[in-house]
Amino acid sequence: MHDLHSHSNYSDGQFLSRMVRAAERAGLDGIGFTDHCNVSSLTSAKDARAMFGFNLDQTYERRRHAINHLRAESEIEIYDAVEMDYDTRDEAGIRAFLSEADFDYTIGSVHYVMETNVQVASAFEDNSLDERKNIVDRYFDQLVALIDSELFDIAAHVDLLERTPPLRGLATETHYRRVANAFANSRTVPEINVGRTLSDEIIHPRSTFFEILREYNVPFTIGSDSHRPNDVTARADVLKDVLSEYDIDPVLPCNQEK
C-alpha cells in the first residue's frame, strides 16, 4: 500500500513530519508528497499561486532536504513528488521545470479550464447548460492533451468535474472512451483518488468511467489526496476497501522507466 497522492505544508497540507507519522500509524508501506506546483506564465495562474502560496517550484530543494531527514528516521518509503497544474500553453515551462527538479514521480492535474478552477461550483451556477457542456468538453480536451504530452507518470482525479454540482453528470461515454484510448497509448497512468470518498461518497473515477478504463486494461495508482494527518489514516482504510472490492493491483510509477 503506497499512497502516492498527499500534500504537506509545502502547499496546502500540514507538516511533513506529522503526515509521515500518520502514514506509519496507518500501516502504509509508503507515502508520496505531491505538493501543488504551477509554473504557468499566464496572469491568472500567477494570481492564483500568489493567493494560495503554492511555491514548490521555489521550495522543492528545501522540501527535499526535509524528506531526506524524514527518510533517515522512518521505516516506510517517502517519495519526493509533485502535483503540477497542466495547461497546454504551459508545456514547455513544465517540461523544463520537471527536468530540472527530477522528482521521484510526477502527477499532472487539470484544475483550471478557461482560467477558472473547475472545483468552484459558484463559478458555474449562472451558466447555461450549453456553457457548462462547453466547459466539460474543454476539460476533457485538456485531460487528453495532458496524457498525450507524456509529461507525467500519473494523471490525477480524472473526473474532477464530478465534485462540482453544476458540472456533475455532464460527461459522456464518448469523453470517457477518448480518455481511455489516450491512456492506452501513453506511459501516464490514472489514479484511484479517494479524496472525496468519505465526505461526498465520490471515488475518482466514478463507476462508468472506471469500467471503461478497465475495459482498455489501463493500470491504476492509488492516492488519498490527504492534506491532514487524520485524512491519511482514515483514507488508508478506504483505499484498502476499494482495492479489495474491485480486485485492483495498483502500480508504482517510480519503478517504471522515466
Give the footprint of Zn ion on this chain (CB under 5 A). 83, 109, 156, 225
Of 4 and 76, the one with the shorter C-beta distance to Zn ion is: 4
Of 83 and 153, the one with the shorter C-beta distance to Zn ion is: 83
Residue 65 C-beta: closest distance to Zn ion, Å = 22
Of 54 and 210, the one with the shorter C-beta distance to Zn ion is: 54
Of 20 and 82, the one with the shorter C-beta distance to Zn ion is: 82
The alpha carbon of residue 157 and the mean position of all alpha carbons in its chain are separated, in whole angstroms, by 5
Residue 85 C-beta: closest distance to Zn ion, Å = 9
Closest of 214, 241, 236 to residue 225, by C-alpha: 236
Residue 111 C-beta: closest distance to Zn ion, Å = 6
Residue 193 C-beta: closest distance to Zn ion, Å = 8
| Alpha carbon distance 226, 19 (integer Å) | 9
Cis peptide before 229, with omega less than 30 degrees from 0?
no
Q: Which residues contact 145 (CB under 8 A, 6 or more apart)?
A: 86, 88
> Residue 98, CB half-sphere, CA atoms under 13 Å: how many?
24
Of 3 and 136, the one with the shorter C-beta distance to Zn ion is: 3
Whether the CB-CB separation of 205 and 173 falls below 8 Å is answered with no
Of 106 and 177, the one with the shorter C-beta distance to Zn ion is: 106
Residue 2 C-beta: closest distance to Zn ion, Å = 16
Of 149 and 181, the one with the shorter C-beta distance to Zn ion is: 149
Residue 156 C-beta: closest distance to Zn ion, Å = 5
Residue 6 C-beta: closest distance to Zn ion, Å = 8
